[in-house]
Amino acid sequence: MKQKLLTIATLPFAKAQILKTLLGKEAIEAVLDDLNLPEGTSSLAVRVQIMEEDLEKAFPILEEFLGKSSVQHPPLREEERQILVPVDFSGYSMKAARVAFGIARSLNAKMVLFHAYPNPIVYSVPFSDIYAFDTGLVVHLENAEKNAREQMEAFLKGLVRHFTREVWNQVETEFIIKAGDPRDDILSYSQKHQVMVIVMGTQGKAGSEMDILGSVTAEIITDARVPVLAIPEETPEDIATSFHKILYATNFDEKDFTAIEKLMRIIEPYHAEIKCIHVGRSEEPVWDVAKLQGMKDILRNKYPSKVFDCQLIIGDDILGELQRFIEQEKIDVIALTTRKRNMLARMFNPGIARKMLFHTSIPLLVFHT
């Protein structure tokens, strides 16, 4: 029976060439097949195809190439910094991609759209584990790849129509489609490449109205080593060009300054005011005020071109006090670190979150510290 070619990934041409070379070193012949995308929708993309009999050997090479490796890679040059946008073609993904495009345009960064579809052939996730291969599942892999490719093409067309081709061409864009696990692949790619921020929807296709945060987004927020900007579906279209007020929730942690340094890189081109807020009890307000004043002095000295406003809010209901402050000050983005796990857990508790306005429209920027 004649062997047929199967697509293992859709990549930008340069990445596909490198992967083809790596596969060749393992005696796996790869063919690069051009995609007939509408002109101007994305950088030249090609399908990387191999023979069916080579699938079992090829998947570990693909996984390592895109990031699943224990080897630390040197950072890319500054001009190669990226905004990573995981997509599942839902309305949430479209909103996240539109916001990410605006950020990439402001930061002169590349926007990378990333989609991982279920791989019925590979059962064990780590690339170093044993891979189980069942030829009877090949047809499912083919159908999944074809479906993902067609959805990505439609997704790109929708983005270009939204921005107009002239505006779209002002930002370098590319997309990656591969079989795999979305959570693992997003984390692996972001660690290997110089990703400034992951921008993704708070929900996905499988999301429930009862859930404030989708399972994949929640895991990425918790585990990613780079900042994650979670975008609700009701976020205003122009949010990427109007970061005027950013709330940073502080608990006087030593890692606050590391997180704020990352925040400064992301909002560098924006004339935004950063409001560092601590919600404390009334027992020792003097010490909290002193800490906030010290924090404000340090930040103003380090970032003289930015505006900082550090405030103490007295109250036992942290989320309730934050909610009132957010409404009064018309906050555009909420920023906090993964060290505030209790706050994150409470914010995304459905019973609490549905009572809070900012969960319907205000993005959440989370830093790993």
Residue-level pLDDT at 120: 64
Residue-level pLDDT at 55: 82
Nearest residue to 243 (alpha-carbon basis) of 308, 324, 328, 334: 334
pLDDT above 60: residue 186: yes
pTM of the model: 0.84
Strand partners, 273: 245, 307
Q: Is 213 or 315 the better-scoring residue by pLDDT? A: 315
Please write the tens of the pLDDT for every residue from 102-115: 999 999 999 999 99
Nearest residue to 48 (alpha-carbon basis) of 81, 86, 19: 19
Please write the tens of the pLDDT for every residue from 222-251: 889 999 999 988 888 788 777 889 999 888
Residue-level pLDDT at 281: 72
Strand partners, 110: 82
Q: Is 80 or 266 the better-scoring residue by pLDDT? A: 266
Rounded to 5°, the CA angle 97-83-119 comes to 75
How does DSSP assign 72-131, residue by residue?
PPPPPPGGG-EEEEE--SSHHHHHHHHHHHHHHHHHT-EEEEEEEE--SS----STTSPP
Tokens 């790596």 label which residue? 22
Residue-level pLDDT at 282: 67
What gap in Å lies between CA 260 and CA 359, rounded to an integer?
A: 22
What gap in Å lies between CA 268 and CA 182, rounded to an integer?
A: 30
Strand partners, 114: 86, 176
Q: Is 187 or 253 the better-scoring residue by pLDDT? A: 187
Mean of the pLDDT values across residues 30-55? 77
What is the domain partition of the chain in residue ranges?
5-231, 242-367
CATH 3.40.50.620 fits 242-367, yes or no: yes
Residue-level pLDDT at 85: 97
pLDDT above 50: residue 73: no
Residue-level pLDDT at 41: 58
What gap in Å lies between CA 326 and CA 215, rounded to an integer?
A: 26
Are 104 and 79 a contacting pair, CB within 8 Å?
A: no
pLDDT above 60: residue 352: no
Q: Is 148 or 349 the better-scoring residue by pLDDT? A: 148
Q: Is 79 or 216 the better-scoring residue by pLDDT? A: 216
Mean of the pLDDT values across residues 287-306? 91
Residue-level pLDDT at 219: 86
pLDDT above 80: residue 207: no
Q: For residue 345, count other CB atoms closer than 10 A to its CB.
A: 11
Are 105 and 170 a contacting pair, CB within 8 Å?
A: yes
Residue-level pLDDT at 2: 55
CATH code at 5-231: 3.40.50.620
Check if 5-231 and 242-367 are the same fold: yes
Residue-level pLDDT at 130: 39
> Is the alpha carbon torsion for 304, 307, 312, 317 positive or negative?
negative
**Which residues, 6 or more positions from 77, have their beta carbon under 8 angstroms from its beta carbon?**
194
State the average pLDDT for the chain.
Answer: 81
- Picking from 25-39, 157-171, 268-282, 307-321, which range would have the lowest pLDDT averaged per residue? 25-39
pLDDT above 80: residue 305: yes
pLDDT above 90: residue 339: no
Going by pLDDT thresholds of 50, 70 and 90, the confidence category of residue 346 is: low
pLDDT above 70: residue 68: no
For 154, 246, 340, the CA distances from 320, given in Å and listed in that order, are 41, 18, 16
What are 177's two structure tokens? 């489609």
pLDDT above 70: residue 97: yes
Percent of the chain with pLDDT over 90: 37
Highest mean pLDDT among 55-59, 98-102, 359-363: 98-102
Residue-level pLDDT at 308: 94
